Amino acid sequence: MLLHNGKKWLLGIFTALVTVAVVLCFFITTNYDMTKYLPEDSATAEGVSRLESSFGNAATVQVMVSDITPAQGIAIAAALEGVEGVSTVVWLGAAVDPLTPLETIDPELLERFYAGDAALFTVTIDCGTYDTEAKDIIAGIRTALGDHDVALRGDVLDNIEARAIAQAEIFKILLIIVPICVIILMLVGRSWFEPILILVGLAAAVALNMGTNALLPSVSYITMTMAMALQLAMSLDYSLFLLHRYHEERDAGKDVASAIAVATKKTFGSITGSAATTIAGFLALTLMDYSIGADIGIVLSKGILFSYLVVILIMPVMIYYAAPLIEKTKHRRLIPNLGKTGTGLFARRKVMAGLFIVIAFFAFLLQSGNRYLYGNAAADDPDGLVTSERLKIEEHFGALNPVVVLTVGATSAEEAAFVEQVSASEYVSGVDALVTAVDPSLPREWLPAAVVDQYVSGNYSRLIVYLTVAEEDANMYEAVAFLNASAAESFPDYYLIGYAPATAEIRSTVRTDATLVLWATVLAIAVIIMLVFRSVSIPIILTLVIQAAVWINMAIAAVEGGPVLYIGYLVVTSLQLGGTIDYGILLSSRYLEFRKTLSPAAAMKEAIQKSTVSIVTSSLILASAGFAEGILSAIPAVSGIGILIGRGALLSGAMILFALPSLLLVLDRPIMKTTMVNRQIRG
């Protein structure tokens, strides 16, 4: 009925919604601060809130100027103080007379500000680390010191780089993925016009998803970088299912309208089940206390929903209007028939089933050996200017990993005791506090207000501890534990704020999330498959096959030996379980369809012939999207997730084509007993 009534109205409303969505895309708020996703009651979140309310939202940047003497630093400091947006500059001249001979200056003080022929200036700017105006202030600093050899470091620089990279990569990756999709669709399709039809529908769904992101408070830059490419790759198979079935019905002699109606009806269950399992996998991420999971989960599940609605409601209408073009541009399939894939293994189905169990078992054991990263360091571009300048500064002054210790009601004696205790640790290179800036025995009311205000605000005191460890590893976690123990011993109330304590808290939060996300994903997907197939056994088999592919994917990562971003592991697990199980749903549904009238082996042969092209096409496109992210992205966090996605798609496709047929045949009898199908089944 849809094809005969209201087609133009439906397309008109749909076009209007897409147009509005495209406009909304310009109003999306992108977030680059991963600590924003910590629970509201987290120590880091509360500490940041109190620090900003007491001392303001001011960021710091370290500037190293090479080939200058301390005396020349006077002009450098003046130039920095003259930059609009710079509030304070701390350097050697703030502590001693810069004309003082170097050999007479306290060595510990000197090494903080001067090394070799390079001077270090710590600049405070009048905005937060993640404020967009920071970019102009940094540009002003570089302009003011344009005649000198300078290098800058700080979280502000990392954020500016991440923002520039993310904005550029969103479309750069699409420019690679879209042509790959077109080529693959041309190879497996029946018409030269099909790729255009599919991609137009998907582009509209992507626009709807991106536009509605403007209705969210913000979207993380990691999500924004991945969302469009993954939505396109993961939901493309819905259109393939529909079009391939449409061609089957046309080949059977049906007219265009009837072929579309029958194809839509017969693929509705598979497409709905595929979309529902993918959405369930991503929605499981919303259960995480670390709400980056919700950020990724909501955006990607929303995208899959839009793609599903476009295929079910709009694609039939598009096919109806495009039918003449589809017929005129028909061509023979450009790749050989893949229908015999796996059929030669039927005679060894028990061996294949046993091999599957062995591989899955050892993959499960191997994947437990992965080393994970939890912080924001994986967002840095290893070849970028920010990284090269940071390494240059580290050669002279060591790593920069400051931790703000915000104390509540602490006395000078308590602060002095804390400084003495932590300064003796190998994890600490120095402490910047009021008790280190001036004689702690002097009453604070005697001190200049300009000095006191840098460290004290009302009942709060701010101490900055500089750690010697910058890399996220066991030493950093031990350093945070040491600071926590020392602060707890010295102060009645305190907060630790900085990359190291935030990463430690993210690690603690995310690790408790993992089991919940995994089980929620598995159970939700199993229930959906059970409802789609009205079967008890099919959900168990399909979930185990895809979970085995996940274990193999992570086992390969463990063998490679490099660290894996933990949020990437959770995303890929949910994506593989929820997204690539589509392949198993398609093959299983065709097997059960043919099993009503054919023997197990004959039914499987027909099922493979009818579904292999769709499975191979879908897995190749998702793999292409993942590998494109992995190869092209300059953000290691995104690149790592991309490689896992690409490899996972290929592994899932291989497991469905080679392991699932043997398992379905070996378990045919219990499957038939636990599945509600028509009873004219042949033995």
What whole-number distance in Å separates Cα of residue 213 and Cα of residue 389?
35
Which comes out higher in pLDDT, residue 45 or 407? 407
Which pLDDT band, with edges at 50, 70 and 90, does 343 fall under? low
Backbone Cα Rg of the chain:
30
Q: What is the mean pLDDT of the chain?
A: 85
| Structure token pair of residue 300 | 């990607």
% of the chain with per-residue pLDDT over 90: 31
Q: What is the dihedral of CA 341, 344, 347, 351, to 10 degrees?
A: -70
Q: For 474-498, where are the alpha helices, taking DSSP H only?
A: 474-490
* Helix H or strand E encompassing 116: none
Say if residues 124 and 164 touch (Cβ distance below 8 Å).
Answer: no
Say if residues 233 and 305 touch (Cβ distance below 8 Å).
Answer: no
In this structure, the strands spanning 460-467 and 456-457 are antiparallel
What whole-number distance in Å separates Cα of residue 384 and Cα of residue 387?
6
Which pLDDT band, with edges at 50, 70 and 90, does 498 fall under? confident
Q: CA angle 627-189-330, nearest 5°?
A: 150
Task: Say how many C-beta atoms besides its own lie within 10 A of residue 298's C-beta.
Answer: 20
Task: Please determine, for residue 682, whether its predicted confidence score (pLDDT) is greater than 60.
Answer: no
Mean pLDDT of the region 603-616: 86
**pTM of the entire structure?**
0.79
Which comes out higher in pLDDT, residue 324 or 625? 324
What whole-number distance in Å separates Cα of residue 21 and Cα of residue 309?
15
Mean pLDDT of the region 19-35: 89
Domains and CATH numbers, the chain: 7-28+160-332+344-377+504-673 (1.20.1640.10), 42-153 (3.30.70.100), 410-492 (no CATH)
Q: Which of 361, 357, 335, 352 is nearest to 658 (CA)?
A: 352
Say if residues 490 and 417 touch (Cβ distance below 8 Å).
Answer: yes
Which pLDDT band, with edges at 50, 70 and 90, does 5 fall under? low
What whole-number distance in Å separates Cα of residue 400 and Cα of residue 391?
10
CB under 8 Å to 431, separation ≥6 — which residues?
419, 422, 423, 463, 464, 465, 466
Q: For 57-123, where are the alpha helices, taking DSSP H only?
A: 73-81, 92-95, 107-113
Task: Say how many C-beta atoms besides its own lie within 10 A of residue 678's C-beta.
Answer: 10
What whole-number distance in Å separates Cα of residue 624 and Cα of residue 532?
29
Half-sphere exposure (Cβ direction) of 489: Cα atoms closer than 13 Å: 13
Task: Please determine, for residue 340, whether its predicted confidence score (pLDDT) is greater than 60.
Answer: no
What whole-number distance in Å separates Cα of residue 171 and Cα of residue 167?
8
Say if residues 342 and 658 touch (Cβ distance below 8 Å).
Answer: yes
Task: Please determine, for residue 683, whether its predicted confidence score (pLDDT) is greater than 50.
Answer: no
Say if residues 206 and 70 touch (Cβ distance below 8 Å).
Answer: no
- pLDDT tens by residue, 9-26: 888 889 999 999 999 999
- In the prediction, which pLDDT does 507 show? 86
What whole-number distance in Å separates Cα of residue 68 and Cα of residue 529?
70
* Helix H or strand E encompassing 273: helix 256-283
Half-sphere exposure (Cβ direction) of 628: Cα atoms closer than 13 Å: 26
Tell me the torsion sign for CA atoms 375, 376, 381, 386. Answer: negative
- pLDDT tens by residue, 307-333: 999 999 999 999 999 999 999 998 776
Q: CA angle 319-322-328, nearest 5°?
A: 125
- pLDDT tens by residue, 558-609: 998 888 888 778 778 888 888 788 888 889 988 998 988 899 988 998 888 8
Q: Where are the beta strands (DSSP E) in 435-572?
A: 456-457, 460-467, 494-497, 564-565
| Three-state DSSP class for residue 123 | strand
- pLDDT tens by residue, 388-447: 898 899 888 888 788 999 998 888 889 889 999 999 999 998 888 888 877 777 777 777
- In the prediction, which pLDDT does 32 show? 82
Say if residues 647 and 551 touch (Cβ distance below 8 Å).
Answer: no
Write out 293-356 in H/E/C secondary structure. HHHHHHHHHHHHHHHHHHHHHHHHHHHHHHHHHHHHCECCCCCCCCCCCCHHHHHHHHHHHHHH
% of the chain with per-residue pLDDT over 70: 94
What whole-number distance in Å separates Cα of residue 60 and Cα of residue 464?
12
Mean pLDDT of the region 80-106: 82
| Three-state DSSP class for residue 675 | strand
- pLDDT tens by residue, 177-233: 888 888 888 887 788 999 899 999 999 999 999 999 999 999 988 888 788 888 888
- In the prediction, which pLDDT does 678 show? 47
Amino acid making up residue 502: A
What whole-number distance in Å separates Cα of residue 185 and Cα of residue 193?
10
In this structure, the strands spanning 59-65 and 118-125 are antiparallel
What secondary structure does DSSP assign to 368-386, as a single string? TT--EE-SSGGGS-TTSHH
Q: CA angle 591-596-599, nearest 5°?
A: 75
| Structure token pair of residue 47 | 């500490």
CA 406 remoteness from chain centre: 31
Amino acid making up residue 78: A
Which comes out higher in pLDDT, residue 676 or 664? 664
Task: Please determine, for residue 449, whether its predicted confidence score (pLDDT) is greater than 90.
Answer: no
CA distances for 270 relative to 43, 239, 414, angstroms? 46, 11, 67
| Structure token pair of residue 231 | 């939505």
| Structure token pair of residue 585 | 């749903």
